[in-house]
Amino acid sequence: MKRIFLFVILLLAGYQMPLFSQSCLPEGITFTTQAQIDSFQINYPGCTMIEGDVDIMGINISNLNGLIVLTSIGGSLRIGHSIPPSRALVNLTGLDNLTFIGGNLSFWSNDSLTTLTGLENLETIGGDFYLGYSMYGNYYNTPNLLSLNALTSLHQIGGSVYIWKCESLTDLTGLEQISHIHGDMDIHLNQSLVSLSGLDAIDTIEGSLKIGWNEALINLNGLVNLNYTGEELNMTGNSDLNDLTGLANLNYIGSAWIQDNENLINLTGLENISSVGGTLSVLDNASLADLSGLENIETIEDELEIRWNPSLSSLAALGNLTSINGDLAIECNPSLVTLAGLNELTYVESIIEITNNNSLTDLTGLESITGTGGLWISENENLASLSGLDMLFSAGMLHIDNNDALQDLTGLNHLTSIEDNVLIRNNDALASLNGADNLIFIGGNIEIKENAVLKNLSGFENLTHVGGSIGIYNSPALTDLTGLNNLSSIGGYLQLDGDSALISLEGLNNLDTIGGILDIASNPTLVSLTALGNVSLVGESISIWNNDLLVSLSGLDNIEAGSVFSLGIGNNPSLSECAVQSICNYLAMPHASVFIEGNAPGCNTPEEIKQACDSLPVPEISKLCSLMIHPNPFSEVTMISFELDSPAGVEIKIYDRLGRIVREFSRQNYPTGTHSITWQAEEVPEGIYLIRLQTGKDNITRKIVKL
Pair 97, 71: CB distance under 8 Å: yes
CATH assignment of 624-706? 2.60.40.1930
The number of residues in the chain equals 707
Cis check: omega of the bond before 26, within 30 degrees of 0:
no
pLDDT, the chain, mean: 92
CA 22 to chain centre: 56
pLDDT for 124 equals 98
Is the model more confident about 284 or about 19? 284
Select from 107, 193, 121 the least CA-distant residue to 151.
121
pLDDT for 692 equals 82
Cβ-count burial 54-93 (b if 16+ within 10 Å, e if not):
bbbbbbebebbbbbbbbebbbbbbbbbbbeebbeebebbb
- The secondary structure of 466-506 as a DSSP string is ESS-EEEE--TT----TT-TT--EESS-EEEE--TT----T
% pLDDT > 70, the chain:
94
pLDDT for 161 equals 98
Q: State the Cα angle at 610 between 606 and 615, rounded to 5°.
A: 155
Mean pLDDT, rounded, for 145-162: 97
Mean pLDDT, rounded, for 74-84: 86
CB under 8 Å to 80, separation ≥6 — which residues?
56, 57, 86, 106, 107, 108, 109, 110, 113, 140, 142
Q: Where are the domains of the chain?
A: 21-165, 624-706
Pair 110, 124: CB distance under 8 Å: no
pLDDT for 4 equals 38
Pair 176, 153: CB distance under 8 Å: no
Select from 245, 237, 244 the least CA-distant residue to 286.
237
Between the alpha carbon of residue 45 and those of residues 51, 55, 71, 93, 381, the distances in Å are 15, 19, 14, 20, 79
Other C-beta atoms within 10 Å of 20: how many? 7
pLDDT for 14 equals 37
DSSP single-letter state for residue 584: H
CA-to-CA distance for 185 and 649, rounded, in angstroms? 77
CB under 8 Å to 605, separation ≥6 — which residues?
596, 597
Between the alpha carbon of residue 169 and those of residues 77, 142, 191, 432, the distances in Å are 22, 10, 8, 63
Mean pLDDT, rounded, for 305-311: 98
Mean pLDDT, rounded, for 517-528: 97
pLDDT for 87 equals 79
**How confident is residue 136, by pLDDT bands cut at 50, 70 and 90?**
low
| pLDDT at 244 exceeding the cut of 90 | yes
| pLDDT at 521 exceeding the cut of 70 | yes
Give a three-class secondary structure readout of 511-575.
Answer: CCEECCCEEEECCCCCCCCHHHCCCCEECCCEEEECCCCCCECCCCCCCCHHHCCCEEEECCCCC
**How confident is residue 301, by pLDDT bands cut at 50, 70 and 90?**
very high
% pLDDT > 90, the chain:
77
CB under 8 Å to 232, separation ≥6 — which residues?
208, 209, 210, 253, 254, 255, 256, 257, 278
Pair 94, 121: CB distance under 8 Å: no
CA-to-CA distance for 395 and 300, rounded, in angstroms? 19
pLDDT for 658 equals 61
Cis check: omega of the bond before 631, within 30 degrees of 0:
yes
Mean pLDDT, rounded, for 69-79: 97
Mean pLDDT, rounded, for 65-70: 98
pLDDT for 466 equals 94
Backbone angles phi, psi at 141, to 5 degrees: -120, 180
Between the alpha carbon of residue 52 and those of residues 23, 49, 73, 127, the distances in Å are 10, 9, 7, 14
Residue 331's H or E segment, with its range, is strand 328-331
| pLDDT at 1 exceeding the cut of 50 | no
- 3-class secondary-structure state, position 376: strand
Alpha helix (H) residue ranges in 576-690? 581-587, 606-613
| pLDDT at 7 exceeding the cut of 80 | no
Q: Is the domain defined by 21-165 classed in CATH 3.30.70.1730?
A: no
Residue 37's H or E segment, with its range, is helix 34-38
| pLDDT at 282 exceeding the cut of 80 | yes
**How confident is residue 15, by pLDDT bands cut at 50, 70 and 90?**
very low
CA-to-CA distance for 375 and 348, rounded, in angstroms? 10
Give a three-class secondary structure readout of 351-367.
Answer: EEEEECCCCCCCCCCCC
The dihedral of CA 490, 503, 596, 590: what is its sign? negative
pLDDT for 495 equals 98
CA 312 to chain centre: 24
- 3-class secondary-structure state, position 330: strand
**How confident is residue 703, by pLDDT bands cut at 50, 70 and 90?**
confident
Pair 272, 295: CB distance under 8 Å: no
- Note the pTM of the prediction, 2 decimals: 0.84
CA-to-CA distance for 360 and 243, rounded, in angstroms? 26
Q: Find the Cα–Cα–Cα–Cα dihedral 107, 111, 113, 119, rounded to 10°.
A: -10
Select from 259, 252, 258, 154 the least CA-distant residue to 206.
252
| pLDDT at 55 exceeding the cut of 50 | yes
CB under 8 Å to 42, separation ≥6 — which residues?
none
The dihedral of CA 76, 81, 86, 90: what is its sign? positive
pLDDT for 12 equals 38
Mean pLDDT, rounded, for 162-169: 95
Mean pLDDT, rounded, for 103-121: 94
pLDDT, tens digit (0-9, with 9 covering 90-100), for 323-338: 999 999 999 999 999 9
CA-to-CA distance for 500 and 521, rounded, in angstroms? 10
CA-to-CA distance for 695 and 651, rounded, in angstroms? 7
- 3-class secondary-structure state, position 141: coil
pLDDT for 661 equals 84
Name residue 250's amino acid: L
| pLDDT at 352 exceeding the cut of 70 | yes
pLDDT, tens digit (0-9, with 9 covering 90-100), for 602-660: 999 999 999 999 887 755 545 566 788 888 888 889 988 888 888 888 888 888 766 67
